[in-house]
């Protein structure tokens, strides 16, 4: 099973959308193995968004992700990254299809509710910023036999 990193950003937390987002992740059948409410430190934000350091929007990214609480989670499932990217929707909510999280809940790219890793490698890199492996809870879901062939 593949692991994916998902973060409900401060705008999603402040708007009370945590339950809606978690429900969509669970509805598809993913298993949440780690989840926490936290305030992202500047050091964590710089590490998370290092790839964007030379971009003009970098400081805005850091400012937003550190401005309030976030919910970070790691989920497991078959093709977790690819499926999550579809659930989340396009980065720019204008391009996100209705039914996706961003398509249903966001209007602007800088307030797009949620972050998800864009590759299995990046998901691992990102979740290691916020979680230690010891924090993950391994268990079998009772519906797994009905989810996977």
Q: What is the pLDDT of residue 3?
A: 98
Q: Domains of the chain (ranges plus CATH)?
A: 2-134 (3.30.70.141)
Q: Which two tokens stand for residue 67?
A: 């401005």
Confidence (pLDDT) at 41: 98
| Confidence (pTM) | 0.95
At 28 the pLDDT is: 96
What number is the average pLDDT over the span 43-68? 96
Question: Tokens 């790839």 correspond to what residue?
Answer: 51
Burial (CB count <10 Å: 0-12, 13-18, 19+), residue 51? exposed
Does the CA dihedral 21-132-4-129 come out positive or negative? positive
Instruction: Measure the CA–CA gap between 32 and 75, rounded to whole angstroms.
Output: 4
**Whats the size of the chain, residue-wise?**
149
pLDDT of residue 76: 97
Token pair, residue 4, equals 């994916």
Known catalytic residue: 115?
A: yes
DSSP 6: E
The phi, psi pair for 129, rounded to 5°, reads -70, -30
Name 8's Cβ contacts closer than 8 Å, sequence gap at least 6: 17, 18, 21, 70, 71, 73, 113, 114
Catalytic annotation, pick one of 48, 52, 64, 115: 115
11 backbone dihedrals φ, ψ, rounded to 5°:
-65, -35
Average pLDDT taken over every residue of the chain: 97
Task: Report how far apart, in Å, the C-alpha atoms of 53 and of each of 18, 26, 46, 50 are.
Answer: 28, 33, 8, 5
């Amino acid at each position: 099973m593949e692991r994916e990193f998902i973060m409900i950003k401060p705008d999603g937390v402040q708007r009370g959308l945590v339950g809606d987002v978690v429900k969509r992740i669970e509805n598809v059948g993913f298993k949440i193995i780690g989840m926490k409410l936290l305030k992202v430190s500047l050091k964590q934000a710089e590490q998370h968004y290092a790839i964007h350091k030379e971009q003009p929007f970098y400081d805005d990214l850091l400012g937003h992700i550190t401005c309030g609480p976030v919910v970070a989670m790691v989920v497991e499932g078959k093709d977790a990254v690819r499926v999550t990217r579809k659930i989340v929707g396009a980065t720019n909510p204008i391009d996100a299809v209705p039914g996706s999280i961003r398509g249903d809940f966001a209007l602007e790219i800088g307030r797009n509710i949620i972050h998800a890793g864009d590759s299995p490698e990046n998901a691992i890199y990102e979740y290691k910023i916020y979680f230690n492996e010891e924090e993950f809870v391994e268990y079998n879901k009772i519906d797994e036999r009905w989810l996977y062939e």
